[in-house]
């Protein structure tokens, strides 16, 4: 269920099972060619296609942010999107782009060998280390990271960057130990998820960090996998994939873990913009004036990337707050377009209910609209009020069980669009896994992203 911007598909393991899920749910609920204008930023609306045309004089970054149910260790959540973009560009030297390095959130609370936060689950510390390991190891293994990719293109076309922001390491510990392991005793084990939770692989390129970590130790994993299945196959599969591995992310994202997720995302976004004109990431501090950003976010990722605007002093004692705020707001001002795939704003805001005035996702999105128009005002000399608002394009498959329309906004134009990601069977059912997962492979979605808009008349 995954401006980095995996897709987090709701796991299309067992398509036949997913089809049965759809039948079950149904039963319960029914018995791109214009030349670039002189001032490209002042177009009425803008798309990723427009950004690609401007990349001759703009360093373009696509932030990809995964959503819930990320596959985790060893899996790139942006792979399908990168492949789809290269197919459309037709001039990539690598079909999925070239890997350009990994960086971890490593400042303040995420620095190596910092005492873990005191969050616990039913009295059990969330980020405790393996037996006989350093007490810091588990927290070191939980730092979110960004994988940098670049589209090196033939014929001298400018390089385009994609920054895949991975926040899943922060939630995997509690998910593995308290949900996957404990539910194995009730419904039966999921070997797929137990294996993900028990694999230990240090990152050879970053001392003290881990590609994967054994949140469930090897001997315990063996015992869990030996347990007999209890629940019916269909129900057990749905619970393991949808609830245990997927929806737990959403619950964690709106609870006390929220400030750690947002701080990690902010650090990773600001690391991603430190790229010079020659592609060097050494001694460069961005955002730079020639950079342009596009956000593509899937499900829970869209909620988190804009929530990163929030700073609540009561959450934790974050140092140098105003420093990151100014840079992060500059990034958002230079963000020309935003794509939400399977948006869950309406669902997740149920956990908020405006306890504080303006402290909601609508306020965060409106803030982006104002920041964008303020930025355009500086480059066009036009008053912000004379500029048209930026646009969010939100794609949903009506058969996607985890997608809702984005509400109307005043400083941002919202375009809610629909797409069919999965085959309908007799207009009664559609594979819910495909409906939620296949936005990145949709010719309509990717085609619309990469199609330039017409200049304003």
Domain boundaries defined on the chain: 15-105+144-159+233-248+255-450
**What are the distances in angstroms from CA 325 to CA 107, 130, 267, 321?**
15, 36, 11, 6
How many helices and strands (H and E) does the chain possess?
A: 17, 14
The distance between the two most distant Cα atoms of the chain, rounded to a whole number of Å, is 69
Q: What is the pTM of this model?
A: 0.88
Beta carbons within 8 Å of 145's beta carbon, 6+ residues apart = 102, 103, 104, 105, 166, 169, 209, 268
| pLDDT recorded at residue 4 | 37
Q: pLDDT tens-digit profile of 344-381? A: 999 999 988 877 666 688 889 999 999 999 999 999 98
Write out pLDDT tens, residues 390-401: 999 999 999 998
Question: pLDDT tens digit string along 252-276?
Answer: 999 999 999 999 999 999 999 999 9
Question: How many Å apart are CA 69 and CA 18, to the nearest integer?
Answer: 15
Lowest-confidence segment of 77-81, 127-131, 379-383 by average pLDDT? 379-383
Q: Per residue in 295-354, pLDDT tens?
A: 999 999 999 999 887 755 555 555 555 578 889 999 999 999 999 999 999 999 998 887
68 and 62 Cβ atoms separated by less than 8 Å: no
């Amino acid at each position: 269920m995954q401006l980095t911007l995996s897709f987090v598909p709701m796991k299309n393991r067992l398509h036949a099972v997913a089809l049965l899920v759809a039948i079950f749910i149904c039963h319960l609920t029914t018995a791109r060619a214009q030349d670039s204008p002189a001032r490209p930023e002042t177009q009425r609306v803008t798309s990723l296609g427009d950004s690609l045309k401007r990349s001759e004089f703009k360093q373009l970054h696509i932030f990809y942010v995964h959503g819930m149910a990320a596959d985790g260790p060893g899996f790139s959540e942006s792979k399908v999107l990168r492949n789809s973009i290269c197919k459309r560009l037709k001039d990539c030297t690598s079909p999925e782009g070239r890997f350009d390095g990994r960086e971890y959130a490593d400042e303040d609370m995420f620095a190596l060998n910092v005492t873990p936060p005191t969050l616990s689950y039913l009295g059990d510390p969330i980020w405790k280390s393996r037996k006989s390991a350093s007490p810091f190891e588990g927290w070191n293994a939980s730092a979110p990271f960004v994988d940098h990719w670049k589209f090196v293109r033939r014929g001298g076309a400018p390089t385009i960057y994609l920054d895949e922001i991975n926040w899943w390491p922060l939630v995997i510990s509690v998910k593995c130990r308290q949900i996957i392991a404990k539910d194995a005793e009730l419904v039966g084990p999921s070997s797929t998820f137990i294996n993900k939770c028990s694999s230990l692989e240090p990152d050879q390129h970053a001392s003290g960090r881990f590609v994967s970590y054994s949140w469930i130790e090897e001997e315990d994993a063996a015992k869990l996998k030996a347990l007999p299945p209890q629940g019916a196959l269909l129900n057990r599969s749905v619970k393991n994939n949808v609830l245990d591995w997927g929806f737990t992310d959403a619950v964690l994202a709106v609870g006390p873990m929220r400030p750690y997720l947002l701080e990690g995302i902010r650090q990773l976004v600001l690391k991603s913009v430190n790229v010079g004109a020659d592609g060097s990431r050494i001694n460069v501090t961005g955002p730079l004036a020639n950079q342009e950003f596009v956000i593509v976010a899937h499900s829970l990722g869209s909620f988190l990337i804009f929530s990163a605007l929030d700073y609540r002093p009561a959450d934790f004692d974050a140092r140098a707050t105003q420093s990151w705020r100014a840079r992060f707001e500059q990034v958002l001002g230079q963000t020309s377009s935003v794509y939400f795939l399977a948006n869950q704003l309406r669902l997740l805001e149920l956990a908020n209910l405006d306890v504080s005035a303006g402290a909601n996702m609508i306020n965060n999105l409106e803030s982006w609209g104002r920041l964008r128009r303020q930025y355009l005002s500086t480059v066009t000399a036009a008053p912000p009020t004379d500029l048209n608002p930026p646009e969010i394009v939100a794609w949903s498959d009506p058969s996607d069980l985890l997608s809702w329309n984005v509400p109307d906004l005043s400083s941002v134009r919202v375009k809610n669009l629909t797409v069919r990601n999965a085959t309908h069977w007799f207009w009664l059912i559609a594979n819910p896994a495909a409906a939620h997962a296949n936005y990145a492979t949709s010719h309509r979605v990717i085609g619309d992203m990469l199609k330039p808009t017409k200049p304003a008349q």
